[in-house]
Amino acid sequence: MTVPVLQASGLARSFNGHYAVTAADVALHAGRVTGLVGPNGAGKTTLLLMLAGLLEPDRGTITFDGAAVEHARLRAATGWMPDTFGTWESLTPREILVAFGRLYRLSARDGDGRARELLAQVHLEAFTDAPASGLSRGQKQRLGLARALMNRPRILLLDEPASGMDPRSRIELRMLLRTLADAGTAVLVSSHILSELDEMSDDIVLMQAGATQIPPPAQRVSWRIRRVGEPADRAVTVELPDDAAAAQYLAQLIAAGHLIAEFTRVGTGLEQVYLGLDADRT
């Protein structure tokens, strides 16, 4: 694999003597979506702030394009979307994005053009010149995503981006992140929506008690099977080692003359790994 665009090794950060992050290692590669998973209080947001160049680690190293990080250069190449995007309520979405564009040294004209392009992309063009105070929680999340994309970032860091979004917006978010990754962006997404994260992520990093780990591969996967004409409560569940075994099992059922109405994975590999963590339910 190529040299990571952004790599962190041994990161730690404390607040008033309490360590929120103790030993975090992350490698983000161009063209790949990495999912960051862990319980509340695991240190995910603190880690994201350090990766965004907004919080100095107590120890550890961060490299950008294989060299020691320069925070100003890193911030210029990074899009950061916090879990809650505070808006200037009296301004319009276009004015908010143009203001952030000026921080990235875009001219007023270029900033306005980029703002309108992004508002259309996140389906907020109808609110372009209306006060941001009228936006719903989900609409503000979409505005936050647009803000994170103003500088056409090489690295995109997202903290619970789908929070408050309706199902259509969540589907569009997944598609957009995949499109950005396919165009070469390195994407890191922290989310509790494990099924969606599992679907769009190329890599997964688990975080617990301030430390990261790479999850082991799933040992077995459960599949729900229902034959034609059977009610839902008559469906059976079988465990199979992988997708290839599932495909072979289904082929055998069909060859034996069974009419299969439903053959569905029960849960995801990521959900099983998460439930295997000794995590506090907070």
Question: Residue with structure tokens 């979409």?
Answer: 142
Instruction: Check residue 255 and give its pLDDT.
Output: 95
| Tens place of pLDDT per residue across the chain (282 aa) | 688 999 999 999 999 999 999 999 999 999 999 999 998 899 999 999 999 999 999 999 999 998 888 888 888 999 999 987 777 878 999 999 999 999 999 999 999 999 999 999 999 999 999 999 899 988 999 999 999 999 999 999 999 998 888 899 899 999 999 999 999 999 999 998 887 888 788 899 999 999 999 877 655 678 899 999 999 888 999 988 888 899 999 999 999 999 999 998 776 667 767 776 655 555
Beta strands 221-227 and 260-266 are antiparallel
d(CA 99, CA 77): 17
Instruction: Check residue 266 and give its pLDDT.
Output: 75
Contact 79, 148 (CB under 8 A): yes
pTM assigned to the model: 0.82
> How far is it between the farthest Cα atoms of the chain?
68
Q: What angle in degrees, to the nearest 10, is found between the helix axes of 108-121 and 93-103?
A: 130
Comparing CA positions, the residue from 182, 189, 173, 196 lying closest to residue 271 is 196
Beta strands 221-227 and 236-240 are antiparallel
